[in-house]
Amino acid sequence: MRRVWLSALVAVGCLGFAWALGRVAWALPYWEAPKALAMPVEGLLPAQVHSQWHAVRPGGRRHEGVDLFAPKGTAVVSATRGVVWRKGWDSLGGRVVTVLGEGHTLYYYAHLDSWADGLDEGDAVRAGAALGTVGNTGNARTTPPHLHFGMYRVGLLGVTAVDPAPALRGGVAGEVTRSSPDAVALSQRK
Ligand SMILES: [Zn+2]
């Protein structure tokens, strides 16, 4: 009887270890942050990105992200490779997509007019993959169409919002970084 219990314990231990190993292997591709992000709105140039980081919003909120203005229907693409974490509706964000991507970060795309055909939660996406189109759903109803793009770094102690503007402009201020090939390709496409 004792031997049965011992084998069961060893089996559970092995399963747990395999599970943990699987989680680590799954997370590894997203560990390192990209130096630059692909522009999430097609045709927009890095110079057209203006930081509205922590601008005051109604209800004592602070703006956590950048607003990228473009005509309704303009393609919204993934800024990094990753996995579609959530596809749904928020009261503020309207129609949204969240991608868990590089830099163990959640990339949040809000106010979408539509989702890309066939896009589903759990889909693996590369930088530049279609997610949807620019719109003004959610609390952007009364504003010109734009993509609200947010970044939330996932850490051991929770999730921290970070300003996406420096990465979208191609690097951290005062630092020369490589330009993402995806960002270049997208900004050159008309
Ligand atoms: Zn916004």
Question: Does the structure show a pLDDT above 70 at 109?
Answer: yes
Write the single-letter amino acid at 189.
R
DSSP character at residue 170:
T
**Considering only CA atoms, which of 159, 164, 172 is closest in space to residue 65?**
164
Q: How far is the CA of 83 from the centre of ligand 1 (A)?
A: 22
How far apart CA 127 and CA 18 sit, in angstroms, is 30
| Average confidence (pLDDT) over 138-167 | 91
| Average confidence (pLDDT) over 74-78 | 97
- The C-alpha R_g of the chain, in whole angstroms, comes to 19
**Considering only CA atoms, which of 106, 82, 102, 80 is closest in space to residue 159?**
106
CB 165 within 8 A of CB 46: no
Question: Does the structure show a pLDDT above 50 at 188?
Answer: no
Q: How far is the CA of 147 from the centre of ligand 1 (A)?
A: 7
Q: How far is the CA of 1 from the centre of ligand 1 (A)?
A: 62
